[in-house]
Each structure stands twice: as structure tokens, then as C-alpha cells.
Amino acid sequence: MKPTALPVLCMLLALTGCQAPPASDVDAGFANPLVRQRADPHVTLHPDGWYYFTATVPEYDRIELRRARSLDQLGKAEAEVVWRKHAGGEMGAHIWAPELHRIDGKWYLYFSAGRADKVWEIRLYVLENSAENPFEGEWIERGQLKTGWESFALDATTFAHRGQRYLSWTQVAPDGSKGTNIYLAQMDGPLAIRQPAVLLTRPEHAWEKRGHWVNEAPAVLLRNGRVLMTYSASATDANYALGLLWAKEDADLLDPAAWTKSPQPVLRSSDKTGQYGPGHNSFTTSPDGKTDILVYHARNYRDIVGEPLRDPNRHTRAQAIGWRADGMPDFGEPVADRKVRDQ
């Protein structure tokens, strides 16, 4: 099925009351994996027609950018290192989960980093670039993005809705209780949040507590009258899975009661397709804007020797999102590897 036919199909299905086919049946035919050994992918299609891509590199020591005219070309696009970790002190270890955002005429990279001497003392940081092209100009360190308390924190994302910009991120609770939770706050410009931050979700279900108690990596999509937020749960092996929260578009997003949480994962490992540990996604669209696309990482084998974080083979992948008649997304199964894109 051609991706451009999907919106028409969904409209017809809504009128008839039928359910849209799962996402695996409307896959846009991407040459998966798109980019090998790149985890936590963040892809955005900008008005200039380029897909901008950044992700965690397996060495955890730098931030790269690349761009291409199509998602399939990202793997062959030249990767430019725009920043490297510090030799000592803060921002000296575990450079994770960069996201590239264009805000008020400037580029920002939000990322997570530990200290060189305390590698698990991970916090949120921001780089800024005022150039029109993020591959030009100077990336300036704007320091730590303070959340209101000091504890293990990572995976910041930002989005604008109804005239207000928000930050969502992952952090250990102020009381130090077990696991990582996801929080939301309004922003005062690109470099600071407005208190108080609110807790949106913590690990509650068994599938969120396998290996580690984890809710992390929020990503936001505004569709069909809802604010949709995916997140990832459990350890970064085959137990890793995608969860979903949603709120009505006119709700007070800072009211935790406005959000509904799916009791089951919406994307998980699949023996059928040979994909394991899908998660830490971002959202983009086809060039014409008509097809929503999920970009995420997964491995193509289940068994890992040693610590999963030391295994480099989390590959960036993409697939079209299916939509049900009620306007909710259907992510289906992570699609199988493909060597050649269908013509």
C-alpha cells in the first residue's frame, strides 16, 4: 500500500466503523535498518525539505548530526561531529539521547550526560546554535537544564502546544524512590522550565519493570484531537517496549488526571519479524506530510552477552503508523529487516 493512500483509507474506515490495518501492513517500505549502531534516534523533517537526524553513538562520547532528503538516505549521509564530551568533570561521560530542535530562530540540542568522575551522575544539558544551518555556526554550551531537584535525569524532549512550550523528561523522583519516572513542565524559553513539574507516569505494570523499573524517553505527537506521548519501559534488552499516554488537546496538560495510560505496551519485541527491544522513538512524517512515521531503535537478535548498554547493535528503524477508526495510533509490530526498498 502506498503511504499517500493511508489518510484516505483511514477516513473511509472511520465512516464505516471498521478498524484500520495494523502499522505493519501499511509500512512505507523503508530500507530498515536505516542507520546501523545508532540508538535513541531523533528525526525531524524541517520546512527546508531535509530530514535532520541525531542519535546516541555506541561510544557515548559525542554528538553527531546528519541530514538527507529521504529517510532511506540517512544511513549513507555524512555524519558531522558537532560536539564532543569533556575530558573531565561534567559532560564527561554517557553522552546520550540528543534531540535537535529549532526554536525561535535558533537550533538547540538537548542531551544527557554524566560526569567523567561520576559517570552515573547524569543530568540534562543544552547546546545552542544561532546559524541558519545547524552544520554551520558555533554550538555553544548553555549548561545544565535544571529540573528543580538533583538526581539521575535524561531523555529531554520539547514540544509546543496551544501557544505554550513544554519540556518532558525522565528522572528519579525527588524522594529517591525506585525507578525512573516521566515528568512534564512548561518552559520559560528554550533553556529553563517553570515550576512546578508534574509526574505523568512511573513504572507500575509488570512489563515496565523487567530488568529495571523504567519509564523513559518521552516523545510527543499531536493528532486527532489528542496529545499522544510514547515512552519506553524496562531494561534495554529484549524486554524494552513502547508505552503510550494520551490527553485531550484542550486539556490542562499539567493536570496528571488529564492523561490516560495504556495498560499494555503498544510496541514490543517480535519473534515473527525478528526485532527485539523496540523503543526510544521520535516521530516524523513523509515529505508530503500525509503519513506519520515512527522512528525507533531495535536489535535484530534477542540474546545479548553481558550488559545490554555495552552492546552496540541498536539500529535506527522506521515504519508508517496505522490509525484506528477512533483516531488512536496502531503501531503494529516492529517490521522485519529489508535490504532493498520497494520501488
Catalytic-residue membership of 64? no
Instruction: Indicate whether 123 belongs to any domain.
Output: yes
Active-site residue among 90, 216, 292, 311? 216
To the nearest whole percent, how much of the chain has pLDDT over 90? 90
DSSP string, 285-326: E-TTS-SEEEEEEEES-S--SS-GGG----EEEEEEPEE-TT
Task: Out of 10-14, 157-161, 309-313, pick the least confident.
Answer: 10-14
DSSP string, 51-118: EEEEEE-TT-SEEEEEEESSGGGGGGSPPEEEEE--SSSTT-EEEEEEEEEEETTEEEEEEEEE-SSS
Instruction: Indicate whether 112 belongs to any domain.
Output: yes
Cβ atoms of 30 and 318 within 8 Å: the answer is yes
Higher-pLDDT residue of 23, 32: 32
Instruction: Indicate whether 61 belongs to any domain.
Output: yes
Instruction: Indicate whether 22 belongs to any domain.
Output: no
Q: What is the pLDDT of residues 199-245, one digit of tens each?
A: 999 999 999 999 999 999 999 999 999 999 999 999 999 999 999 99
Active-site residue among 27, 40, 292, 311? 40
Instruction: Indicate whether 30 belongs to any domain.
Output: no
Instruction: Indicate whether 16 belongs to any domain.
Output: no
Antiparallel, parallel or unpaired: β 164-171 and 181-187: antiparallel
Task: List, in order, residues 6 or more apart from 249 with CB less than 8 Å away.
Answer: 161, 162, 222, 225, 226, 227
Instruction: Indicate whether 280 belongs to any domain.
Output: yes
The CA distance from 261 to 184, in Å, is 15
pLDDT at 30 > cutoff 90: yes
Q: What is the pLDDT of residues 274-313, one digit of tens each?
A: 999 999 999 999 999 999 999 999 999 999 999 999 999 9
Q: Quick one: pLDDT at residue 21? A: 42
| Three-state SS at 23 | helix
Q: Based on the structure, what is the number of domains in the chain?
A: 1
Cβ atoms of 26 and 13 within 8 Å: the answer is no
Beta bridge partners of 158: 167
Instruction: Indicate whether 170 belongs to any domain.
Output: yes
Give residue 105's domain range: 39-330
pLDDT at 316 > cutoff 70: yes
| Residue type at 197 in one-letter notation | A
Cβ atoms of 85 and 105 within 8 Å: the answer is no
Catalytic-residue membership of 216? yes
Closest C-alpha to 242, from 296, 165, 307? 296
Q: How confident is the model at residue 339 (pLDDT cuts 50, 70, 90)?
A: low
Task: Out of 17-21, 146-150, 152-156, 324-328, pick the least confident.
Answer: 17-21
CATH number at residue 283: 2.115.10.20
